[in-house]
Amino acid sequence: MAEVARGLSEYLDDMALNILMVEPGDLSVVGALLELTEQLVAEAGKQEGQGMILAMAKSFNAALQKIIMGELPDSAENFDRLGQCVVQMQEVARKGGEADEAANRLFRENMTAVGFEVEVQTAAAEAPEPVSVPSPAAPPPPVAAVSAPAKAEKGAAVDLDFLQDKDLLAGFVAESFEHLESIEVNILDLEQDPGNSDIINNIFRTFHTIKGVSGFLNLKKINELAHITENLLDDVRNGKREMDSDVIDVVLSVGDYLREMVQNVKDVLEKGPDAYRDYGISQFVERVKAVQSGQVEVAAPAVQPDDEDEEGLAESVADVSQALSSRGASPAPAQAAASAPAAARAAGPARSRIGESIKVDIDKLDGLVNAVGELVIMQSLVRQNPLVARLADPKLNRDFSQLGRITTELQRTAMAMRMVPIRQTFQKMTRLVRDLSKKTGKTVDLIMVGEETEVDRNMVDSIYDPLVHMIRNSVDHGVQSPDAREKVGKPRTGSVYLRAYQKGGNIVIEIEDDGEGLNTPKIRKKALERGLISEGDNLSDHEIQNLVFLPGFSTADKITDVSGRGVGMDVVKKAVEKLRGKVDVSSEAGKGSIFTIRLPLTLAIIDGIIVRIGMERYIIPTIAIQESIRPKREEYNTVYGKGEALMIRDRLVPIIRLYEIFGVEPTHTDPCEGLVVVVENEGVQRALMVDELLGKQEVVIKSLGGYLKDTKGVAGGTILGDGRVGLILDLASLLAIERGSAEAASNEEGDMF
């Protein structure tokens, strides 16, 4: 049962994180929440003994659908209560799915407050088909609802600045072409097997995705046509309409028409607004509705845009301009005397071709990176071969040099394919802070540092949601109101710092605010009330402050529409831990707080010092090394019950014997006969005992994968120039192991007396 609970808990954790992203009036994130809920229903329906979770999930799903359909208010209060419902489901999941009347009662009360009456049910029912969620190239969930664009007056100028920021529409175009191409393939399969629900669902998801993303981008006609076709397919899915040749024909024709419309969006991006053509969809809408109602099929309209006069063109171009500019561009005031074609000609450089891109499976990309690494190693092995080294041929040496330059460039290019600057994620926070400032009535500046820091692309996508929640937390609970700041002698404008930098084998992201800081006594009191700690626990302020990451922990006095939905910072911690990272907080009353996220570099080139311990090779990140020495006998000290240390620059530095941790037979067991490398991690110094320093080398971090990926003390591996495998040390993990060993030794000593 524990294995089942973990599976359901993963869905619930993701739901908790998603519900934090929801803004009243903006349902773009609710689609992702709905899909997770349907997946939870499906998973709970497969398992025995999960009747309560299944019933709760079904009710939650139904309430969510009513909010999407407008039958229930999409207010902040309702989403707060739904957040509480997720917490209650998490409580049941933590207990292995056992019946929990208290949680069930609170769940029903919250659902009733939302406006949804929960039906008493425990029997598992067939789960609905999960609905695909829109996933544009890099779409930030909008903080506020986007207003409909105003129509341009006849002769009004069309601003072309939106073409400077075309990444979102370019991503939509690329993905839409892929989705539309899949329709024909699925339709051909469906003709052979009309009753195949999987194929019908695949086609439904295609239109659902296009509808969602086009609505997000304010492309109204594409959105409307995809939506009406989605309704037809939904009737087919639910058995209200049979799948026949009429449905197949209309779906194919709509797909062709949507392809034309998407192609025109691409033309506008490449050539400017004068390439825009306004496509009429009324005949297609009538045809789809006729087929949906079972009437005689309306003849397919010709796939061509309507003839537009000058006014219609101006309106259409203005719509596209607004759709683009509302996604991040900052259009300048329109020139009243300029016409659309004239503005297009004036744009000049805006008429550029959209950069083409293709999707590549991550496994294939990893395979390429590994193959390039092997190529570099083999090139080094061949050059170091004694037979080749004896050949004093100038041409051979020149060829080897050229080969070395090519392989190095190939390696850097392959690595760059996976590494992207974190700038794009950071810049999304600017809009977030601005809108949060307006909602909370505060004035807050966002100061970003280290936007060029490169991280793995997958990590950039995964860290976005936790980052949004932590920024919200800093603005809502950290920074005080202008009047309160003025009373304590602070500037009326608060500051939130967002930093990223590489430190050792980690990427560090810091969110710092200059607010009032965490109330450590209040956190301790809450923890005592909940039984998380006892009166006798001797915890430091830092340890008490990090209790905020426990499930459901909150010190907020009131719930706001920004944060405080009962889904605490634990969802941030879980999201970071999924990336094998860590998050903690340090705070000083009256001065502010710093939330620190440390993430591993799964793929990165770092400088390292190669050391030998026995017959094995290890790499210590250069950035963490302070010095290396051969200790003198008088510098060596032992502290009874605490271990051994070296007196280095008037400071006792504990020794870590790496050969004991990794189970390696060393050359030296006496620290004064070997070497020690003094390293620093998070302000803590340790002396790592090694046998020999072999030199400095630029190495590529590679994940160990499989059951080795969670090996304590190891951040990854690399292939050295001689073909041997070297392990890259994870200093944070090593220090944790060392502290654990010291505490165990101290406890054993205490038990003896």
CATH number at residue 621: 2.40.50.180
CATH number, position 496: 3.30.565.10
b or e along 229-241 (b: 16 or more beta carbons within 10 Å of the residue's beta carbon)? bbebbbbbbeeeb
b or e along 118-149 (b: 16 or more beta carbons within 10 Å of the residue's beta carbon)? beeeeebeebbbbbbbbebeebbbbbeebeeb
Q: Using CA atoms, how far apart are residues 495 and 147, in angstroms rounded to an integer?
A: 29
Q: Greatest CA span in the chain, whole angstroms?
A: 99
The DSSP element (H or E) to which 734 belongs, if any, is helix 731-752
Encoded tokens for 226: 């995809």
pLDDT band at 485 (very low <50, low <70, confident <90, very high): very high
CATH number, position 412: 1.10.287
Q: Using CA atoms, how far apart are residues 485 and 593, in angstroms rounded to an integer?
A: 15
Eight-class DSSP state of 565? S
When divided into structural domains, the chain yields a total of 5
Which residues does 179 contact at the CB level (< 8 Å), separation at least 6?
206, 209, 210
CATH number, position 265: 1.20.120.160
Fill in the amino acid letter for 298.
V
Average pLDDT of the chain, as a whole number: 75
The DSSP element (H or E) to which 621 belongs, if any, is strand 616-621
pLDDT band at 482 (very low <50, low <70, confident <90, very high): very high
- My answer on whether 404 and 464 are in the same domain is no
Residue ending a domain, among 114, 143, 170, is 114
- My answer on whether 272 and 367 are in the same domain is no
Whether pLDDT at 155 is above 50: no
Domain assignment present for 346:
no
Encoded tokens for 357: 């891109």
Domain assignment present for 335:
no
Closest CA to 20 of 89, 87, 92, 79: 79
Distance of CA 69 to the CA centre of its chain: 28
Residue ending a domain, among 278, 312, 329, is 329
Inter-CA distances, 357 with 167, 174, 216, 312, Å? 12, 8, 22, 33
pLDDT digits (tens, 9 = 90+) for 623-634: 778 899 999 888
- My answer on whether 746 and 684 are in the same domain is yes
Domain assignment present for 339:
no
Fill in the amino acid letter for 653.
V
CB atoms within 10 A of CB 499: 18
Distance of CA 146 to the CA centre of its chain: 23
Beta carbons of 717 and 390 less than 8 angstroms apart: no
Residue for token digits 């309209």? 301
- My answer on whether 171 and 313 are in the same domain is yes
Kindly give the pairing relationship between strand 506-513 and strand 454-456.
unpaired
Domain hosting residue 369, numbered range: 362-417
b or e along 22-47 (b: 16 or more beta carbons within 10 Å of the residue's beta carbon)? bbeebbbbbbbbbbbbbbbbbbbbeb
Whether pLDDT at 678 is above 90: yes
Distance of CA 616 to the CA centre of its chain: 37
pLDDT digits (tens, 9 = 90+) for 30-65: 777 888 888 888 888 888 778 888 889 899 988 888
- My answer on whether 107 and 191 are in the same domain is no
Whether pLDDT at 325 is above 70: no
Whether pLDDT at 21 is above 80: no
Inter-CA distances, 373 with 338, 409, 670, 703, Å? 56, 12, 37, 13
Residue ending a domain, among 584, 600, 616, is 600
Fill in the amino acid letter for 504.
G
Q: Using CA atoms, how far apart are residues 198 and 190, in angstroms rounded to an integer?
A: 10
Most confident of 438-447, 529-538, 556-565, 701-710: 438-447
Whether pLDDT at 339 is above 50: no
pLDDT digits (tens, 9 = 90+) for 224-282: 888 888 888 888 888 888 888 788 888 888 888 888 888 888 888 887 778 878 788 88
Domain assignment present for 128:
no
Kindly give the pairing relationship between strand 675-681 and strand 684-690.
antiparallel
Encoded tokens for 44: 């709970």
Eight-class DSSP state of 275? G
Encoded tokens for 164: 């400077």
pLDDT digits (tens, 9 = 90+) for 274-315: 887 878 888 888 888 888 887 655 455 544 444 443 343 344
Task: Return the pLDDT at 556.
Answer: 56
- My answer on whether 473 and 431 are in the same domain is yes
Distance of CA 645 to the CA centre of its chain: 42
Q: Is the pTM of this model over 0.75?
A: no
* C-alpha R_g of the chain: 30
The DSSP element (H or E) to which 145 belongs, if any, is none
- My answer on whether 592 and 642 are in the same domain is no
- Torsion, Cα 368 370 373 379, to 10 degrees, reads -80
- My answer on whether 226 and 188 are in the same domain is yes
Domain assignment present for 434:
yes
Which residues does 568 contact at the CB level (< 8 Å), separation at least 6?
548, 549, 550, 551, 552, 553, 554
Eight-class DSSP state of 276? -
pLDDT digits (tens, 9 = 90+) for 594-619: 999 988 765 556 678 999 999 999 99
Inter-CA distances, 653 with 314, 625, 644, 686, Å? 73, 14, 9, 6
Distance of CA 394 to the CA centre of its chain: 52
What is the length of the chain?
753
Q: Using CA atoms, how far apart are residues 329 and 572, in angstroms rounded to an integer?
A: 30
- My answer on whether 625 and 721 are in the same domain is yes
Task: Return the pLDDT at 342.
Answer: 34
Task: Return the pLDDT at 483.
Answer: 92
Closest CA to 654 of 563, 745, 718: 745
pLDDT band at 742 (very low <50, low <70, confident <90, very high): low
Whether pLDDT at 412 is above 80: no
Q: Using CA atoms, how far apart are residues 677 and 624, in angstroms rounded to an integer?
A: 10
pLDDT digits (tens, 9 = 90+) for 62-111: 888 888 777 888 787 888 888 889 888 888 887 776 667 888 888 888 89
pLDDT band at 127 (very low <50, low <70, confident <90, very high): very low
Task: Return the pLDDT at 690.
Answer: 94
Domain assignment present for 24:
yes
Of residues 576 and 343, the one with the higher pLDDT is: 576
- My answer on whether 88 and 196 are in the same domain is no
The DSSP element (H or E) to which 501 belongs, if any, is strand 494-503
- My answer on whether 683 and 660 are in the same domain is yes
User: How many percent of the chain have pLDDT more than 90?
Assistant: 10
Encoded tokens for 562: 């920004």
Q: Using CA atoms, how far apart are residues 206 and 255, in angstroms rounded to an integer?
A: 10
Task: Return the pLDDT at 489.
Answer: 92
Encoded tokens for 216: 């997000």
Question: What backbone torsions phi and psi does residue 445 show, to the nearest 5 degrees?
Answer: -100, 135
Task: Return the pLDDT at 314.
Answer: 40
Domain assignment present for 320:
yes
Domain assignment present for 484:
yes
Fill in the amino acid letter for 272.
G
Q: Using CA atoms, how far apart are residues 134 and 23, in angstroms rounded to an integer?
A: 17
Residue for token digits 């329709």? 183
- My answer on whether 695 and 744 are in the same domain is yes
